[in-house]
Structure 1
Amino acid sequence: MRAGWYALALVLSLGIVALVLYSTGTFDQWSDDRSLDQACDGTLSQDGLDAALRSSSLSADSEGDGDHLAACRVRNAKTGAQAGAVELTLRWSSATPSSGELSWYNKDYNGVRAQAVPLGNGWSGIARRQGAWQVMVALDCVNEKKKALVAYGDLTGTANNATLTGLARVTTETAQNAAEKHGCQVKPGKRLTEVSTSRLGTPDTATPLDQAQGSCTALRKLAPTAARNGAPEAMEYPADAHTPQVNCYLATPDKKPGYGLYAYYGAAAEDFLASEGDNLKKGYGPTHSDKDYSWATAQCPQSTQPAVFVLYHLLDGDTDTYPIAHHSAEFATSALSTFAGHEAQVRGCADVHMGSVP
């Protein structure tokens, strides 16, 4: 009889404890913390999440996708995903990228819509915007050069410098954690403290080409020739020897982007080439439809994937016209050769090869 009373007392005590835990939110907090610890196969970095989502009350869900190494989503535990969310996906560079991952490369001939901001601080990563912000990081495995850990961090909801910096920290550090977990030795950068949402394309982002100091630096010596070909101005990002994508835009006297020069390295080069599909199989090199272009490749020490350099005669997608009406193939080849040679020198690449255009 006494044993029965003891058992009943124990059940009642446990019930009271459970009620207290639920009523005070302690259980929910424990459950949310556990979901964060287990997210993205246990590799999710929580540094930067508060800043990215402007909340310290967060919860994570696993995203089932057999094509990725891991995937997860983090949201505000109280208001849900409608207030914004961070979605992370990780894959090996050898895995087939999804159509969504390749869509970023389908506008590189269309004004400045394919631009990417270098993350800086030694990280091989970029921030890019296509309706919403995404951070892409590609960490080469120094112990297996055919392989790289690729991570994507997508931010839904409004963004500013603080939220984008938070997203960049989460993505870079999660990529590093995942690489270490799977035996991929990488050279990470330093902790990110500022990533700007600033974008190129408005007139105030253009400067005279002969004053370029960033990603267009190599083309300064071509400034007189560029001016004669309708492109005396430059739109550029800071020079960065680690970013997987480099953008340089040559602009018209009225500061409209007329030529776009791009460099893609490692996993970014693989994805760019994959986005080209049958064009490469036909021997045309990187191109889109009938757009005017020049292209080149180089062998780089960081990866077995050759780097790819491309110049496009840019279309203004808003007006469906070319800001530079006359495309000079001679100038395009000269500009790209100069751009690719400089990039190769900075990265320690060799064997720059100019591709033929049919």
Structure 2
Amino acid sequence: MAVRRIVLRAVAALVAVAVAIAGYLLVHGDFQRWSDESALDGACDGLLDRNTVRGVLGPGAVEVEHERRDAGLVGCEVHVHDGGTAEIRIADTARLGQSWDSLYEGSPGASALSVPIGHGWTGLFGADPDKHGAGTDPFKADEDDEVTASLVLKCTGASSIKGLSVTVETTLDKTLDDPSNRPQFAKIATSTAAKASKAQHCGAKLGKPVRSLDLPVNEDEYKPLGTAGGTCSGIPSARGVAIATETARGGAPHETCRLADAGLRKRYVLEGDYGPYAQERLLGYEEEGYEVAPSADTPAHYRDRDGRMSWTTAKCPDGLALFTLYPAAEQDDNGKSPRRHADLAHERAVLKAFAERSAKAHGCSAPLTP
């Protein structure tokens, strides 16, 4: 009888475990979770490098949450006890506008500009200083930093896919203020990109190991426009446009330049988009029903009727590049934004200078003159 009771207890325990697992899967749908050492080998369809992930996140007990939404997107989260966390998204860039997240440009609403990863990679490195720090040293925080490294891979002609996007948000108990810590936040992204390219027969040209990274550029890191040497270089100054906030150039698929007056009031925001970033932006214009919008078929310049933005385009090795200028709102007593007071000639010159230098740095043809 004693033996029978033991057997019954064991069966009951197994049933309870099975019910718990079934309940978990019922509640969480496509999510699956493992918590043993082999979990890393199956995470994100086996596209993670176990040694790299361990080296970045730490040696503690691991838990993996895997999500696969469709054939164009693989995602997973890795949590290490008393260590770090990484959220990974791997996407086919040909499936833009479908059921996957937008390409990373920076933290939503963040004041800091993401910077190029460089080292031969096409990608961005960013964080939100408003969330993690304060005072004169916004990236020196008492809490963990959530930092994003996002890469774009261009596949060769022999591949069945055109490109891949690999985005990794990493949380570590390490401050970005220390330059020696920053490369840790890019390691999972670069190792995952290499494995994804091989698994998908992408044949992409990969970058080198990331040994150093610049800090994201905070909004108070402005300089006189005439001294700008990065994304704001060569832009002519004029009355009311004297201050620049910029990043370095270095293979970033999305570039930004912010211009302000001497009182630090924002005047213009300029953006350059390449490859899948430009494709996604163009698709967005089409879906929003613009009467006239940039086209992938015919590079052209246009200023929209309401003065909300101006743009021009250029032909590049990886498709069309899009350069956009957004003027700051100039509100009248009725809260509207009249354009009659805008210096349109200077606005055209600003967009022209930004687009020409950006296109040249990316090996593109000269943009059409605004």
How far has the Cα of 1:196 moved from its partner? 4.2
Query: Could you say what secondary structure the match of 1:270 adopts?
Result: helix
The separation in 2 between residues aligned to 1:353 and 1:266, in whole angstroms, is: 18
Query: Could you say what secondary structure the match of 1:65 adopts?
Result: strand
The separation in 2 between residues aligned to 1:325 and 1:309, in whole angstroms, is: 23
The separation in 1 between residues aligned to 2:52 and 2:213, in whole angstroms, is: 12
Aligned partner of 1:74 among 78, 96, 108: 78
Match of 1:227 in 2: 238
Match of 2:47 in 1: 43
Matches within 5 A, 1:55-204: 56-76=60-80, 78=81, 85-97=85-97, 101-102=101-102, 113=111, 115-129=113-127, 133-143=147-157, 147-155=162-170, 160-161=175-176, 165-202=183-220
How far has the Cα of 1:184 moved from its partner? 0.8
The separation in 2 between residues aligned to 1:207 and 1:238, in whole angstroms, is: 13
Match of 1:10 in 2: none
Q: Could you say if the C-alpha distance between residues 139 and 196 of structure 1 is closer, same or farther in structure 2, counting changes exceeding 3 Å? A: same
How far has the Cα of 1:154 moved from its partner? 2.2
Q: Could you say if the C-alpha distance between residues 255 and 310 of structure 1 is closer, same or farther in structure 2, counting changes exceeding 3 Å? A: same
The separation in 1 between residues aligned to 2:340 and 2:244, in whole angstroms, is: 18
> Is 1:258 the counterpart of 2:274 in the alignment?
no
Code of the aligned partner of 1:339: F
Aligned partner of 2:36 among 32, 39, 45: 32
Q: Could you say if the C-alpha distance between residues 69 and 326 of structure 1 is closer, same or farther in structure 2, counting changes exceeding 3 Å? A: same
How far has the Cα of 1:296 moved from its partner? 0.9
Match of 1:330 in 2: 345
- In structure 2, runs of 5+ residues without a counterpart are 1-33, 132-145, 295-301
How far has the Cα of 1:348 moved from its partner? 1.9
TM-score (norm 1): 0.72
Code of the aligned partner of 1:214: G
Q: Could you say if the C-alpha distance between residues 195 and 346 of structure 1 is closer, same or farther in structure 2, counting changes exceeding 3 Å? A: closer
Query: Could you say what secondary structure the match of 1:175 adopts?
Result: helix
Contact 1:105–1:275, Cα closer than 8 Å, also in 2 = no
The separation in 2 between residues aligned to 1:321 and 1:201, in whole angstroms, is: 26
Superposition CA RMSD, Å: 3.7
Of Structure 1 and Structure 2, the greater helix share is in 1
Please say which of residues 338-347 and 286-295 is displaced more in the overlay. Answer: 286-295
Contact 1:276–1:288, Cα closer than 8 Å, also in 2 = no
How far has the Cα of 1:167 moved from its partner? 3.1
> Is 1:217 the counterpart of 2:233 in the alignment?
yes
Code of the aligned partner of 1:272: R
Please say which of residues 96-105 and 190-199 is displaced more in the overlay. Answer: 96-105
Please say which of residues 117-126 and 248-257 is displaced more in the overlay. Answer: 248-257
Q: Could you say if the C-alpha distance between residues 50 and 42 of structure 1 is closer, same or farther in structure 2, counting changes exceeding 3 Å? A: closer
Match of 2:322 in 1: 308
The separation in 2 between residues aligned to 1:244 and 1:296, in whole angstroms, is: 16
Give per-residue Cα distances to partners, 1:60-83, cap 9 Å, x unaligned.
33213115342211111x36xxx7
Please say which of residues 88-97 and 124-133 is displaced more in the overlay. Answer: 124-133
- Would you say how many aligned residue pairs link Structure 1 and Structure 2? 305
The separation in 1 between residues aligned to 2:248 and 2:123, in whole angstroms, is: 14
Code of the aligned partner of 1:299: K
The separation in 2 between residues aligned to 1:326 and 1:184, in whole angstroms, is: 51
Give per-residue Cα distances to partners, 1:127-149, cap 9 Å, x unaligned.
23466543221111132697111
Aligned partner of 2:248 among 224, 228, 238: 238
Aligned partner of 1:207 among 223, 242, 266: 223
- In structure 1, runs of 5+ residues without a counterpart are 1-29
Structure showing greater relative contact order (alpha-carbon pairs closer than 8 Å, 6 or more residues apart): 1
Identity rate, percent: 25
Code of the aligned partner of 1:188: L
Contact 1:118–1:243, Cα closer than 8 Å, also in 2 = yes
How far has the Cα of 1:353 moved from its partner? 2.7
Match of 1:15 in 2: none
Q: Could you say if the C-alpha distance between residues 261 and 166 of structure 1 is closer, same or farther in structure 2, counting changes exceeding 3 Å? A: same
TM-score (norm 2): 0.70
